[in-house]
Amino acid sequence: MSDDPTRVREFFGVRAADWDSRFPDDGPAYAAAVSEIGLRPGDAVLDAGCGTGRALPPLRAAVGPTGTVLGADLTPEMLTAAVRAGRGAPEQDAPGAGTLLLADVGRLPVRDGALDAVFGAGLISHLADPVSGLRELARVVRPGGRLALFHPIGRAALAARHGRQITPDDLRAEPRLRPVLAEAGWRLVSYVDEDARYLALAVREG
Ligand SMILES: C[S@@+](CC[C@H](N)C(=O)[O-])C[C@H]1O[C@@H](n2cnc3c(N)ncnc32)[C@H](O)[C@@H]1O
């Protein structure tokens, strides 16, 4: 589903309250994916489309207390659930793992090159204009910084969960994703699509 912001909000708004209880065992998969980004203490990282903030605690653990963790989502109910789960708050230095931004990842209130990395779980299929969204993520990451596109299950397993089959035009398929990333300023450096996870890692071109 790639969709406009209003439909994304409607879709996820009604799912926010029980989002975590639908996927209670995903925590270790998020932690494992975050460990592959190569974050260091003091780094600045954004969870793009953070939802209820499931990735925020491992991101905070990776960058430590001197690092910066931002979570951006355009569905207010998702951010409310993140606050309720104790994973973040809207103000800087607030309790929780990260600072939450009610924002479209296609238009972020973040300086050029301010971040070392972006993590995006379950995000890109929902972007109305993937090249433009990924270009905005490239804008806020320094040259050499990283992008991790993750899902706790692979494309085939996810399609089966929804009673569908994967199609060749799927944006997350490597042959489609690689040129889309390149157009947006990213170089795909590693790609895994297996039942137990989907993880595409890219580097911000200079
Ligand atoms: C499948 S959910 C994944 C949530 C979270 N990353 C996780 O792994 O649990 C996708 C999330 O992306 C958000 N989203 C979709 N398009 C967005 C956009 N353009 N800007 C910001 N957030 C967006 C939705 O509101 C939703 O919370």
pLDDT digits over 113-128, tens only?
A: 999 999 999 999 999 9
Q: What is the mean pLDDT of residues 6-16?
A: 95
Q: Is the pLDDT of residue 2 over 80?
A: no
Query: Residue 126: CB within 6 Å of ligand 1?
Result: yes
Query: Residue 134: CB within 6 Å of ligand 1?
Result: no
Half-sphere exposure of residue 201, counting CA atoms within 13 Å on the CB side? 15
Q: What is the mean pLDDT of residues 29-54?
A: 97
Domains and CATH numbers, the chain: 5-204 (3.40.50.150)
Radius of gyration for the chain, computed over Cα atoms and rounded to the nearest angstrom? 16
- What pLDDT band is residue 99 in, cutting at 50, 70 and 90? very high
State the pLDDT at residue 94.
Answer: 64
| 141 closest CA partner among 45, 54, 66 | 45
Q: Which residues contact 29 (CB under 8 A, 6 or more apart)?
A: 152, 196, 197
Query: Residue 12: CB within 6 Å of ligand 1?
Result: yes
